[in-house]
Amino acid sequence: MATVLVVDDDRHLQMLYEQELQRAGYDVLLASNGAAALETVANQNVDVVVLDIAMPGMDGVEVLTKLLDMNRQLPVILNTAYASFQDDFMTWAAEAYVVKSSDLTELLKAIEKALRKRGTPAPNPRNDQDKE
């Protein structure tokens, strides 16, 4: 079972991602800021990170740099409202770049693709699971 860490300061968005990713068959970990994200990656098994770049506290790009310092193989998918970050060469190190949307299809595809590339088995969607 692949584990996805969602790093976002927006509590409701965390809930949405948690629900939808679990539904898609992933284990989901949540972090509200950069420091918490780094701690989680250090202590737990994380297969993919979905990272919002623009968060209070630590800058998203900085978090990305530190995450990659810890584990060069860790796929980090940048998920943000800002298309402009695509021009920041630091973000080139990211696995993928997905603009935030109510439609999570693209994000799910990006996660699946990242996992497949690293040989992690595809998750089994759990259609019946709904935390709400």
Partner 1 sequence: MNEVLHNTMNEQPEHQLDNASNSAAEHSLLQGEGARCYRCTPEEFLENVIAGLPTKLLVLDQDLRVVHCNPAYYVPRGLTREEVEGKLVDEVFPQSLLEEGGLREALQTTLRTGERVRWSGYRHPSRDHGERIVNIRIDPCKGYNGEPNVLLTIEDVTERHRQLYERTILQQITRAMLGQLELPRLLHAILTGVTAGGAVGLGFNRAIMMLADEEEGVLRAEMAVGPECAEEASQIWSQLGDQHHTLDEFLSAYDKLPPPEERPLRKLVERLVVPLSQTDVLPMSAIARGETIHVEDAANDPQVPAHLYELLGAEEFVVAPMVAKDKIIGVVIADNFVTRRPITASDIQMLTALANQAALSIDSARMYQKATRQAEELAQAYEELQKAHRERIRSEKLAAVGQVTTIVAHEIRNPLATIGGFARAIARDAEPNSRIKRNAQIIVEEVKRLESILSDLLDFTKPQPSQLVPTDPRVLIVDVINLLSSEIEAAGIETRLEFDSEPLIVPLDERLFPRVLINIVKNAIEAMPNGGTLTIGLHRTPQGIQISIADTGPGIPEDELDDIFDAFHTTKATGTGLGLALSKEIVSEHGAELSVSSTVGSGTTFYITFPQPADEADNPADAGEATHS
* In the complex, least distance from residue 71 CB atom to partner 1, rounded to whole angstroms: 27
Which tokens sit at 81?
């409202």
Minimal distance, residue 65 CB to partner 1, in Å = 21
Segment 38 to 67, residues that bind partner 1, using CB under 8 A: 54
Helices then strands, counting H and E runs in the chain, come out as: 4, 5
Name the nearest CA neighbour of 1 among 36, 48, 39, 41.
48
Nearer Cβ to partner 1 (12/72):
12
For residue 63, the minimal CB distance to partner 1 (Å) is 16
Give the one residue of 1, 70, 81, 122 binding partner 1; rule: CB under 8 A.
Answer: 81
Helix, strand and coil in the chain, % to nearest 5? 45, 15, 40
DSSP, res 122: P
131 binds partner 1 (CB under 8 A): no
Nearer to partner 1, 83 or 92 (CB): 83
